Chains A and B, each alone.
Chain A
Amino acid sequence: EAGVAQSPRYKIIEKRQSVAFWCNPISGHATLYWYQQILGQGPKLLIQFQNNGVVDDSQLPKDRFSAERLKGVDSTLKIQPAKLEDSAVYLCASSLRIGSDTEAFFGQGTRLTVV
């Protein structure tokens, strides 16, 4: 079974530039998450999709971050314009369904450095 795929693995951009990350979840997984993990901290949930609908984006900085999940499969997360404090690892995860007993499977993440 293929895991969660993310690209790119690394990205360096200047502040005020834009950047996009891509995620392909495990086939058949209805729930998709984007997390931001700043160095030395735990992952912080940015947005959660159920199929192609947003179920939680309360911690997404909507003035600069956007995300979509077209057709309920792949997802993209965009930052425009980037700030220095956006430097972090962006983790995508998926789970089979919403439920307390379903673990999330994570991709390898995209390490973003904003200079």
Chain B
Amino acid sequence: AQKITQTQPGMFVQEKEAVTLDCTYDTSDPSYGLFWYKQPSSGEMIFLIYQGSYDQQNATEGRYSLNFQKARKSANLVISASQLGDSAMYFCAMREVGGATNKLIFGTGTLLAVQP
């Protein structure tokens, strides 16, 4: 069964430093996609970055990069040069392809606080 685990309930980082948010997943499907979303206090879910299970390169989008280690089933989000506006909840999510429904499931999230 699909499962997403985020073990860090909260993280602090100093402005302009880099931070890594952990995500591990479990699936028996060889084909899947991994996503990271940001949820500010206003509540909307904002898509950040995507990594496909067959992608050879780690995904990058501006200051966001995904450290994909397939053998370890981990998909950590790295935010470089943190900004005050990065303070938010961050969710890791996964969608399998081989299943009948292609459900998009989420982890429990990590609350990131960027300090000046």
* Chain A interfacial positions (CB closer than 8 Å to B): 31, 33, 35, 41-45, 48, 55-56, 89, 91, 93, 95, 98-109, 111
Contacts and interface: CB of A to CB of B under 8 A. Distances in A.
Interface string B19-47: 00000000000011101010000111111
Nearest to A89: B43
Contact of A101 (B6, B33, B43, B107): B33
26 contacts: A41-B109, A42-B6, A42-B106, A42-B108, A45-B103, A45-B104, A48-B103, A55-B101, A56-B100, A89-B43, A98-B102, A99-B33, A99-B102, A100-B31, A100-B52, A100-B95, A100-B102, A101-B33, A101-B50, A101-B52, A103-B50, A104-B47, A105-B47, A107-B44, A109-B44, A111-B43
A104 B106 CA distance: 12
Contacts of B109: 41-42
Contacts of A108: 42-44
B33 A100 contact: yes
Interface of B: 4, 6, 31-33, 35, 37, 42-47, 50, 52-53, 91, 95-97, 100-109
B101 A41 contact: no
A107 B44 CA distance: 7
A103 B50 CA distance: 8
Nearest to B97: A100
Nearest to B104: A104
Contacts of B6: 42
Contacts of A102: 33
Contacts, number: 66
A100 B108 contact: no
A55 B102 CA distance: 9
A42 B100 CA distance: 23
Contacts of B33: 99-102
Contacts of B106: 35, 42-44
Given A41-B108, A41-B109, A48 B101 contact: yes
